[in-house]
Amino acid sequence: MTKLSPLQRVRAEHGTKAALADKVVALLSPEEGEEREDFEARIKTLSNERLLRLHTAHQRLEKEYGSRDALVDAVVKARFPGGNAPYKSKVEGYRITRLLDLAR
């Protein structure tokens, strides 16, 4: 069995790239100071692979941890069983994909 390309995966799982981009836009929020329209345009121009990674990361977050706060707590607890406030404040600024990599 051959591995599907990102374009083939997008078409098989979501129909079109625009449909996947709309799902990803709904999951993310714009950076501070960025207009919503600019944010949506930026997301829609991402590669298929990047869109798939973002969508998969958010699905994994919801399935395994439930929320971003629970993921941050799990990362901090894995590194410092007793807790560590400075480390927690540092990792709260990380993107979800990076937090999921740390949780591994």
pLDDT of residue 74: 92
CA distance 50 to 20: 11
Where are the alpha helices (H) located in the chain, listed in sequence order? 6-14, 17-27, 36-44, 48-64, 68-79, 85-91, 96-103
Verdict on whether the full-model pTM lies above 0.75 = yes
pLDDT at 32: 85
Query: 61-100, pLDDT tens digit by residue?
Result: 999 999 999 999 999 999 998 888 999 999 998 989 999 9
